[in-house]
Amino acid sequence: MSEAGNMQYSLRRFFAPPVFPEDEEKTRAAGFINAIVLTNIPILVLFIIVRVATGEGDLFGAANIILAGIITILLVVWFLMRAGWVKVAGYLHVTTIWLASTMIALMGGGINSTTFTSYFVVMLMAGLLLGWRPAVGFTFLSILAAFRLANQET
Protein backbone atom coordinates (compact mmCIF):
# COMPACT_ATOMS: atom_id res chain seq x y z
CA MET A 1 0.00 0.00 0.00
CA SER A 2 1.33 3.45 -0.87
CA GLU A 3 2.08 6.04 1.79
CA ALA A 4 -0.89 8.19 0.71
CA GLY A 5 -3.19 5.17 0.75
CA ASN A 6 -1.89 4.17 4.17
CA MET A 7 -2.49 7.71 5.50
CA GLN A 8 -6.02 7.74 4.06
CA TYR A 9 -6.74 4.36 5.67
CA SER A 10 -5.40 5.61 9.02
CA LEU A 11 -7.55 8.75 8.88
CA ARG A 12 -10.63 6.74 7.93
CA ARG A 13 -10.04 4.37 10.86
CA PHE A 14 -9.42 7.29 13.23
CA PHE A 15 -12.72 8.98 12.37
CA ALA A 16 -14.80 5.77 12.13
CA PRO A 17 -17.09 5.02 15.07
CA PRO A 18 -15.94 2.24 17.38
CA VAL A 19 -17.58 -1.16 17.09
CA PHE A 20 -18.55 -3.10 20.19
CA PRO A 21 -19.20 -6.68 19.03
CA GLU A 22 -20.69 -7.67 22.39
CA ASP A 23 -23.27 -4.85 22.36
CA GLU A 24 -25.16 -3.91 19.21
CA GLU A 25 -27.03 -1.05 20.95
CA LYS A 26 -23.76 0.49 22.14
CA THR A 27 -22.34 0.29 18.61
CA ARG A 28 -25.49 1.95 17.21
CA ALA A 29 -25.36 4.80 19.75
CA ALA A 30 -21.61 5.25 19.14
CA GLY A 31 -22.31 5.63 15.42
CA PHE A 32 -24.86 8.38 16.09
CA ILE A 33 -22.58 10.18 18.56
CA ASN A 34 -19.67 9.95 16.12
CA ALA A 35 -21.71 11.43 13.27
CA ILE A 36 -23.19 14.20 15.43
CA VAL A 37 -19.88 15.27 16.94
CA LEU A 38 -17.88 15.09 13.71
CA THR A 39 -20.43 17.26 11.90
CA ASN A 40 -21.10 19.73 14.71
CA ILE A 41 -17.49 20.61 15.54
CA PRO A 42 -16.57 21.88 12.03
CA ILE A 43 -19.90 23.73 11.80
CA LEU A 44 -19.31 25.49 15.13
CA VAL A 45 -15.72 26.35 14.22
CA LEU A 46 -16.94 27.78 10.90
CA PHE A 47 -19.65 29.69 12.76
CA ILE A 48 -17.03 31.32 15.02
CA ILE A 49 -14.87 32.21 12.00
CA VAL A 50 -17.83 33.76 10.17
CA ARG A 51 -18.89 35.71 13.27
CA VAL A 52 -15.40 37.17 13.67
CA ALA A 53 -14.86 37.79 9.92
CA THR A 54 -18.15 39.67 9.55
CA GLY A 55 -17.55 41.73 12.68
CA GLU A 56 -20.61 40.25 14.36
CA GLY A 57 -18.61 39.15 17.36
CA ASP A 58 -15.27 39.69 19.02
CA LEU A 59 -12.98 36.64 18.96
CA PHE A 60 -13.03 36.52 22.76
CA GLY A 61 -16.62 37.72 23.14
CA ALA A 62 -19.06 35.84 25.36
CA ALA A 63 -20.87 34.11 22.49
CA ASN A 64 -17.64 32.80 20.94
CA ILE A 65 -16.35 31.64 24.31
CA ILE A 66 -19.62 29.73 24.83
CA LEU A 67 -19.27 28.21 21.36
CA ALA A 68 -15.66 27.24 22.12
CA GLY A 69 -16.88 25.65 25.36
CA ILE A 70 -19.44 23.61 23.44
CA ILE A 71 -16.72 22.51 21.01
CA THR A 72 -14.59 21.43 23.98
CA ILE A 73 -17.49 19.46 25.45
CA LEU A 74 -18.09 17.81 22.06
CA LEU A 75 -14.43 16.76 21.98
CA VAL A 76 -14.80 15.28 25.47
CA VAL A 77 -17.96 13.47 24.30
CA TRP A 78 -16.08 12.09 21.29
CA PHE A 79 -13.17 10.83 23.39
CA LEU A 80 -15.52 9.28 25.97
CA MET A 81 -17.37 7.50 23.16
CA ARG A 82 -14.10 6.23 21.64
CA ALA A 83 -13.02 4.95 25.07
CA GLY A 84 -16.21 2.88 25.28
CA TRP A 85 -18.13 5.15 27.65
CA VAL A 86 -20.95 5.59 25.17
CA LYS A 87 -23.77 6.11 27.72
CA VAL A 88 -21.74 8.72 29.63
CA ALA A 89 -20.91 10.47 26.35
CA GLY A 90 -24.59 10.43 25.35
CA TYR A 91 -25.74 11.84 28.68
CA LEU A 92 -23.08 14.56 28.60
CA HIS A 93 -24.04 15.55 25.06
CA VAL A 94 -27.80 15.62 25.61
CA THR A 95 -27.48 17.37 28.99
CA THR A 96 -25.22 20.04 27.49
CA ILE A 97 -27.71 20.78 24.72
CA TRP A 98 -30.60 20.85 27.21
CA LEU A 99 -28.75 23.24 29.55
CA ALA A 100 -27.64 25.50 26.70
CA SER A 101 -31.18 25.63 25.30
CA THR A 102 -32.63 26.40 28.72
CA MET A 103 -30.09 29.13 29.48
CA ILE A 104 -30.58 30.80 26.10
CA ALA A 105 -34.36 30.68 26.49
CA LEU A 106 -34.14 32.10 30.03
CA MET A 107 -31.86 34.94 28.92
CA GLY A 108 -33.59 35.48 25.59
CA GLY A 109 -37.17 35.43 24.43
CA GLY A 110 -38.50 32.87 26.89
CA ILE A 111 -41.20 30.51 25.69
CA ASN A 112 -41.63 32.58 22.51
CA SER A 113 -37.95 32.14 21.64
CA THR A 114 -37.04 29.98 18.67
CA THR A 115 -34.56 28.31 21.02
CA PHE A 116 -37.50 26.85 22.91
CA THR A 117 -38.14 24.48 19.99
CA SER A 118 -34.69 22.96 20.51
CA TYR A 119 -36.23 20.94 23.35
CA PHE A 120 -37.70 18.70 20.65
CA VAL A 121 -34.17 18.07 19.34
CA VAL A 122 -33.05 17.23 22.89
CA MET A 123 -35.90 14.73 23.29
CA LEU A 124 -35.13 13.12 19.92
CA MET A 125 -31.41 12.88 20.68
CA ALA A 126 -32.11 11.43 24.13
CA GLY A 127 -34.24 8.74 22.50
CA LEU A 128 -31.62 7.95 19.85
CA LEU A 129 -28.58 7.98 22.13
CA LEU A 130 -29.91 6.90 25.51
CA GLY A 131 -33.18 5.05 25.07
CA TRP A 132 -36.81 5.75 25.82
CA ARG A 133 -36.56 6.11 29.61
CA PRO A 134 -34.00 8.94 29.55
CA ALA A 135 -35.99 10.51 26.68
CA VAL A 136 -39.04 10.57 28.97
CA GLY A 137 -36.87 12.12 31.70
CA PHE A 138 -35.61 14.88 29.39
CA THR A 139 -39.19 15.42 28.19
CA PHE A 140 -40.29 15.90 31.81
CA LEU A 141 -37.40 18.35 32.43
CA SER A 142 -38.34 20.23 29.26
CA ILE A 143 -41.97 20.50 30.37
CA LEU A 144 -40.85 21.85 33.76
CA ALA A 145 -38.60 24.37 32.02
CA ALA A 146 -41.49 25.38 29.75
CA PHE A 147 -43.70 26.03 32.79
CA ARG A 148 -40.90 28.09 34.33
CA LEU A 149 -40.43 30.08 31.14
CA ALA A 150 -44.18 30.66 30.81
CA ASN A 151 -44.41 31.69 34.48
CA GLN A 152 -41.49 34.09 34.03
CA GLU A 153 -43.36 35.92 31.26
CA THR A 154 -46.43 36.64 33.39
Burial of 117 (0-12, 13-18, 19+ CB in 10 A): exposed
In tens, the pLDDT along 59-69 reads 787 778 888 99
Residue 74 pLDDT exceeds 80? yes
What are the residues whose beta carbons fall under 8 Å from the beta carbon of 150, sequence distance 6 or more?
110, 111
Bigger pLDDT: 20 or 4? 20
Query: Tens digit of pLDDT for each residue in 79-103?
Result: 999 999 999 999 999 999 999 888 8
Model confidence at 73: pLDDT above 90: yes
CA distances from 14 to 9, 38, 83, 115 (A): 9, 12, 13, 34
Check residues 4 and 144 and name the one with the higher pLDDT.
144
At residue 82, the pLDDT reads 95
Q: What is the pLDDT of residues 23-48, one digit of tens each?
A: 999 999 999 999 999 999 999 999 88
% of the chain residues with pLDDT over 90:
55
Handedness of CA 70, 88, 80, 16 (dihedral sign): negative
> Residue 59, SS3?
coil
Structure letter (DSSP) for residue 39: H
